[in-house]
């Protein structure tokens, strides 16, 4: 079995694009190019011409070539070239293959060095497709999430199928730079100007009425499938595959793509294909066409080299100057805001201090008022409890106890009398009883019960 490889990502360009804000700025600065996307449908070809700039995206034009399978190739090829000539372009196209012709795999390659990844994929190829001994062609690309490298996105197509498409477009005189598939085109297109959300589920309706579901998550960096189901059911199955929350909203694929400055863009999959083909030095889609058979527009290559050199110089200056400028700007704004709110902050601090002082005084007054009321209750209870025959010399009311000094004919029963009150407990004689001819002199200490 012959296996042809078509790894398409530019390793050095991707290595220059760093995670975070610098990576986003670099993507925007490098987002300069023009792409022609061709979507192969059952009976027609959809073509879109897209121009990408750091300031936005413009869909310059779009046509549909009908009945291309039944018409002479040169006839519809001429229609295609007239379309490009109208827009003063002569570009090699990026062709989106029908989903049924491509097998998509997401292949983890833990611990495999970058230079050995293609060989590692080729070694596993027999287990990745159901075509048996038939010759196949594969392409792969690294996937990235948040600047971190994740498993490889692999596309596999029967060699005879790819050769038929090559011959078809060659007969029409159409130069093809890339044959790709929807998952690869979407993975690249959603990253042209801005990084996509960390987790999402997106959908697009195909020409046959089915739904293409595309999503990304932490557990599955790329998910793509065609469902002949209602969109609600299809997206629910996709959420389960991606292992995201059932509440994750399903969004149209076009909301993830850069908005077109010229109004309504082309259909989402076609638009994504043209976008991905416009900026091949950014993370590019998987290319199933072997490198030696790819068409390259020479004028574009010259402008690409010049543009990359200019952008690299500008980007280097921006990356060097921007952090210092942003820091100075933030410090200046911060000082201005501090100066603006400092008087109010001082007044607020003074008010807080006064409030704390007043609250402390109120607590002292409340405690004093509460103690006086409690002491009066204790005095009233003693007046009620002690029989008229008991003579008290002094009653000392303390926060936790009461000391009672006096005389009584029988002092011992007073302990039980006091402990039976809800105000007192653990009563005892503080000193020994002193007996006289007619009475006993006592000093009792009783503890105060806590009151609710």
- Which of 90-99, 120-129, 181-190, 357-366 has the weakest average pLDDT? 357-366
Confidence of residue 239 (pLDDT cuts 50, 70, 90): very high
Window from 69-73, 228-232, 324-328, 414-418 with minimum mean pLDDT:
324-328
Give me the pLDDT at residue 172, please: 93
Boundaries of every domain in the chain = 3-196+256-296, 386-448
Find the range with the poorest average confidence among 6-10, 81-85, 142-146: 6-10
Least confident of 14-18, 238-242, 420-424: 14-18
Check pLDDT > 90 for residue 45. yes
**pLDDT tens digits for range 240-293:** 999 999 999 999 988 888 887 766 566 788 988 998 888 766 667 889 998 888
**Residue 158: predicted pLDDT:** 94
Please give the pLDDT value at position 27. 61
Confidence of residue 375 (pLDDT cuts 50, 70, 90): confident
Q: Give this prediction's pTM.
A: 0.60
Alpha-carbon distance of 324 to 329, in angstroms, equals 9
Q: pLDDT band at residue 16, thresholds of 50, 70 and 90?
A: very low
Beta bridge pairs of residue 200: 216
The pLDDT-based confidence of 1 (bands split at 50, 70, 90) is: very low
Q: How far apart are CA 317 and CA 127, in angstroms?
A: 48
**Rounded to an integer, what distance in angstroms lies between the CA atom of residue 444 and that of residue 212?**
93
- 386-448 CATH, one of 3.30.410, 3.30.1360, 3.40.190, 2.30.29: 3.30.1360
Chain-wide mean pLDDT for the chain?
Answer: 83
Above 90 in pLDDT, residue 83? yes
Considering 162-176, 181-195, 281-295, the range whose residues carry the highest mean pLDDT is 162-176
Report the alpha-carbon distance of residue 196 to residue 200 in Å, rounded.
8
Residue 389 confidence (pLDDT): 83
pLDDT of residue 316: 79
Q: What are phi and psi of 410, to 5 degrees?
A: -130, 115
- As a three-state string, the secondary structure of 78-105 is HHHHHHHHHCCCCCCEEEECCHHHCEEE
pLDDT at 198: 87
pLDDT of residue 145: 64
pLDDT class for 168, splitting at 50, 70, 90?
very high
**Triad 153, 149, 15: Cα angle to 5°:** 105
Fold classified for 3-196+256-296: Nucleotidyltransferase; domain 5 (3.30.420)
Decide: helix, strand or coil at residue 371.
Answer: helix
- Mean pLDDT of the 3-29 span: 45
Q: Greater confidence, 172 or 399? A: 172
Q: Phi and psi dihedrals of 441, rounded to 5?
A: -90, 125
- From CA 132, how far away is CA 146, in angstroms rounded? 37
The predicted structure's pLDDT at residue 160: 95
Mean pLDDT (whole number) for 48-59? 87
pLDDT band at 304 (very low <50, low <70, confident <90, very high): low
pLDDT at 47 over 70: yes
pLDDT in tens, 89-108: 888 999 999 989 999 999 88
Lowest mean pLDDT among 148-152, 210-214, 224-228: 148-152
């Amino acid at each position: 079995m012959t296996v042809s490889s078509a790894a398409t990502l530019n390793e050095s360009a991707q290595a220059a694009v760093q995670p975070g804000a610098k990576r986003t700025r670099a993507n925007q600065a490098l987002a300069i190019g023009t792409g022609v996307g061709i979507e192969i449908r059952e009976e027609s070809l959809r073509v879109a011409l897209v121009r990408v700039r750091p300031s936005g995206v413009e869909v310059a034009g779009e046509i549909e070539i009908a009945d291309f399978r039944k018409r002479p190739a040169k006839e519809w090829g001429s229609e295609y070239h007239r379309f490009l000539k109208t827009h003063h372009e002569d570009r090699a196209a990026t062709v989106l293959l029908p989903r049924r012709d491509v097998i998509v795999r997401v292949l983890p390659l833990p611990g495999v060095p970058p230079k050995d990844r293609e060989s590692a994929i080729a070694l596993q190829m027999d287990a990745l497709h159901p075509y048996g001994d038939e010759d196949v062609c594969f392409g792969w690309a690294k996937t990235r999430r948040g600047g971190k490298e994740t498993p490889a996105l692999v596309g596999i197509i029967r060699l005879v199928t790819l050769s038929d498409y090559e011959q078809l477009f060659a007969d029409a005189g159409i130069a093809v730079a890339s044959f790709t598939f929807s998952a690869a085109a979407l993975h690249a297109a959603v990253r042209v100007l801005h990084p996509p959300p960390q987790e999402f589920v997106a959908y697009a309706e195909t020409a046959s009425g089915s739904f293409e579901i595309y999503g990304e998550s932490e557990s599955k960096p790329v998910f793509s499938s065609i469902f002949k189901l209602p969109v609600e059911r299809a997206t629910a199955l996709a959420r389960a595959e991606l292992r995201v929350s059932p509440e994750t909203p399903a969004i149209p694929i076009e909301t993830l793509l850069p908005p077109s400055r010229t109004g309504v863009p082309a259909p989402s999959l076609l638009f994504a294909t043209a976008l991905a083909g416009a900026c091949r030095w950014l993370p590019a889609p998987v290319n199933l066409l072997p490198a030696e058979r790819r068409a390259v527009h020479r004028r574009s290559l010259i402008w690409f080299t010049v543009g990359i050199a200019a952008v690299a110089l500008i980007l280097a200056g921006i990356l060097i100057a921007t952090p210092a400028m942003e820091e100075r700007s933030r410090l200046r704004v911060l000082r201005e805001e501090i100066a603006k709110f400092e008087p109010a902050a001082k007044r607020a601090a003074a008010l807080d201090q006064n409030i704390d002082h007043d609250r402390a005084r109120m607590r002292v007054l409340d405690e004093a008022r509460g103690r006086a009321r409690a002491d009066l209750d204790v005095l009233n209870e003693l007046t009620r409890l002690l029989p008229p025959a008991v003579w008290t010399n002094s009653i000392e009311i303390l926060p936790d106890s009461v000391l009672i000094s006096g005389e009584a004919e029988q002092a011992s029963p007073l302990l039980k009398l006091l402990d039976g009150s809800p105000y007192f407990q653990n009563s005892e004689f503080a000193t020994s009883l002193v007996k006289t001819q007619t009475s006993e002199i006592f000093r009792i200490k009783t503890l105060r019960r806590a009151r609710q």
